[in-house]
Amino acid sequence: MTPLLDVRNLRIAFRVDRHGTVDAVKGVSFVVPANATVALVGESGSGKSVSSLAVMGLLPADTTVVDPAGQVLFDGRDILHLAGAQRRALCGSAISMIFQEPMSSLNPVFTVGFQIGEVLRRHMGMGRARARARTLALLEEVGIPDPAVKIDAYPGHLSGGQQQRVMIAMAIACEPKLLIADEPTTALDVTIQQQIMALIARLQRERGMAVLFITHDLGLVAEIADHVIVMRHGEIREAGPAAQVFGAPRDRYTRALLHCRPPLDTRPWRLPVIADYLEAEERPLAVRQRQRGYGPDDDIVLDVRKLKKSFWLREGLFGKREFQAVKEVSFQLPRGKTLGVVGESGSGKSTMGLTLLRLHQASGGSALFDGRDLLALSRRDYHVYKRRIQIIFQNPYASLNPRFTVGQILLEPMRLHAIGADDRERVKRAQALLERVGLPAQAYHRYPHEFSGGQRQRIAIARCLTMQPEILVCDESVSALDVSVQAQVLNLLQDLQDEFGLSYIFISHDLAVVKYMSDTVMVMKAGEVVEMADADELYRNPRHPYTQALLAAIPQGPPRYA
């Protein structure tokens, strides 16, 4: 039987200068059968997204070299070298794609109804009235609440999960035979992630589509994939039926990917990383366990009492409406311990963290640090405390100044806070910190764009450490990273806590990561704390229905192989 998509000996390189190229995909071959779901799995830089963009014809022509000997057969027809007009007619109708970041894919100045309707008008030749009726039906099919209202909403008025549903509606509008989903759930909460995965699986069954699902997380696709292809460094390391790849993986790299995620049943002293598996003769065993929990004699470094934060939204021509983002949140953070904060988008967890650092002005409450209320201090008095409580932001690509070298990024805060006697001492300290976070000395003179996402996050951590902080707020600081890079950064945070006695407020929607890192977990919903308990106790015996729903949504992943 002829497969729907047949990729043969695909080779892709990118020009890096006038004479040189870098191989991104090295002779990859795979098939996607009709009505099947195939998962393409690998770390960033493995070539999985580049392969899918080659299928869609979305690679930049001026910097991409595609070997003409390769083929991409769709329904038996080689589409790799089609003319532009023919390729555009095919992609968007018979083949469609869901991208990772919906807010970057949707045009913010057009309503979602207009953008879905544009696909129908262009590819299906529908008039405006018919396209609008079809758009309403699509929004309802993908589970958008109040589709008659949301059809005229702009992307910025929708949540992340709703934006992704709009992208799915757009992708299935022309009833494609093949749907390519490129990391469609990476930035979403665990409950929304579960809903999107279930939606894609339902649409695949009902419409008889083939799905090529691209992700770095093997556990995420365990329940929906029929076939799995594992890529690394532009090559296929393993491929086969999902049951075989998950149940008895043959390649050591596949086994490494399966075990890099923090387990829910144990807490190893260190998370294994890819190198541990590739270098070891057998699967490394983490015998030593890390103990967690608050103790009665712990020294409390931060005492937050009834913290509140409200935003005022315009309503009508002259009216205003109060939106309470954080509602009387109280907790204590001991020295050298970690408070995990979980909740869906809009729960107030990030707003709470930003308010503690006075990046938002609090609407009420107090935050006692060394007996002083951080929220009541004058700007001049707070400057002394600013260096003692720092934040690591979610996006390492947006939090570093692209015009500064790494050295300038690290020196600037030390100069502002007069840390170090002179620049010679500051440079020495910056280079030592780069080494401490696992970066080479040459990184000091390079720019952020020359580093991977995981390396950039290490630079952000090093920048925080230049201030010699006592508290770090980690705001979704590993959510955008591959599972293997995530394990490296989590190990680094653990090492720094052990060495310097740092206290963490660890904010994340990834409940497996929160359990691994936290001594106590605080669950937030709609700005309120609905449950707080020791990490092991909360996961073992959640009391609040909302906590139970969050834990039930954690991907169970594949069964452990022997």
**Digit-coded pLDDT (tens) for 288-304:** 888 888 988 899 999 99
Q: Which is nearest to 559 in space by CA: 245, 260, 287, 277?
A: 245
The pLDDT, as a whole number, for residue 286 is 56
- Which backbone phi and psi does 315 adopt, to 5 degrees? -135, 115
Q: What's the CATH class of domain 1-94+175-249? A: alpha beta
pLDDT in the model for residue 488: 85
- CA nearest 339: which of 523, 492, 187? 523
CA pair distance 43, 57, nearest whole angstrom: 22
Closest to 507 (Cα-Cα) out of 394, 360, 342, 359: 342
Q: What's the gap between Cα 409 and its chain centre?
A: 24
pLDDT at position 1: 61
Residue 282 has a pLDDT of 59
pTM > 0.75: yes or no: yes
Q: Which residue has the tokens 């049951």?
A: 243
Kindly state the percentage of the chain with pLDDT values over 90.
46
- Beta 364-369 vs 528-534: how paired, if at all? unpaired
**Segments in the chain below pLDDT 50:** 560-562
The 10 Å CB-count burial string (b at 16+, else e) for 400-412 is beeeebbbebbbe
| pLDDT at residue number 295 | 87
Sorted by sequence, the CB contacts under 8 Å of residue 506 that are 6+ apart come out as 338, 339, 340, 341, 474, 514, 517, 518
Summary count for the chain: helices (H), strands (E)? 20, 21
pLDDT in tens, 78-99: 998 888 788 888 887 899 999 8
| Domain regions of the chain by residue span | 1-94+175-249, 106-173
- Three-class SS state of 365: strand
